[in-house]
Amino acid sequence: MPISDAEKLDLIKRTWNLEETGTVPYVIEVGRPHHATAAYYNDDAAELAWHEEYHRLQAGIADFYIPNIKPNMGISNLAAAFGCPLKTVDDADPWVGHLVSNRDPGAARRIRKPQPGDNPIYGRMVKRLAFLQERSPLPLRLVNVASPMVTASMIWNYTDLMMALLQYPGEVHALLEVITEATIDYVRWQLTQIRHLCTMGHEPEILPPEFGLRISDDTAALLSPALYREFAARYNARLSEAFGGVVVHSCGDCSRVVSAMLETPGLRGLELTIPQNADWQAIKPAVGRVALSLRHKFWDYGQEAPDPVEYTRKILDCFGRRGVFILTSRATFEEARELGEKLRRLLGPR
The string of pLDDT tens digits covering residues 11-58 is 999 999 999 999 999 999 999 889 999 999 999 999 999 999 999 999
Q: How far apart are CA 24 and CA 278, in angstroms?
A: 23
pLDDT at 70 > cutoff 90:
yes
pLDDT digits (tens, 9 = 90+) for 48-64: 999 999 999 999 999 99
Beta pairing partners, 214? 247
Q: How far apart are CA 294 and CA 283, in angstroms?
A: 11
Strands 26-30 and 86-87 turn out to be unpaired
CA distance 309 to 340: 10
Partners of 156 in beta bridges: 100
Enter the pTM of the model: 0.96
State yes or no: pLDDT of 148 exceeds 90. yes
How much is the average pLDDT of 233-248?
98
- The enclosing H or E element of 339 equals helix 333-347
Specify the fold of 5-347: TIM Barrel (3.20.20)
Report yes or no: 75 and 87 within 8 Å, Cβ to Cβ. Answer: no
Distance CA 65, CA 206 (A): 8
Give the residue from 148, 155, 168 showing the smallest Cα distance to 235: 148
Which residue(s) pair with 140 in the sheet? 69, 197
What's the CA gap between 206 and 194, in Å, rounded?
A: 16
- In this predicted structure, the answer to whether residue 255 has a pLDDT above a threshold of 80 is yes
Q: Is 321 exposed, middle or buried (0-12, 13-18, 19+ CB in 10 A)?
A: middle
pLDDT tens figures, 315-348: 999 999 999 999 999 999 999 999 999 999 999 9
Which pLDDT value is given to residue 300?
Answer: 82
Q: Terminal CA-to-CA distance of the chain, rounded, Å? A: 15
Q: Domain coordinates of the chain in residue numbers? A: 5-347
CA distance 155 to 97: 7
* CB half-sphere exposure, 32, CA atoms < 13 A: 6
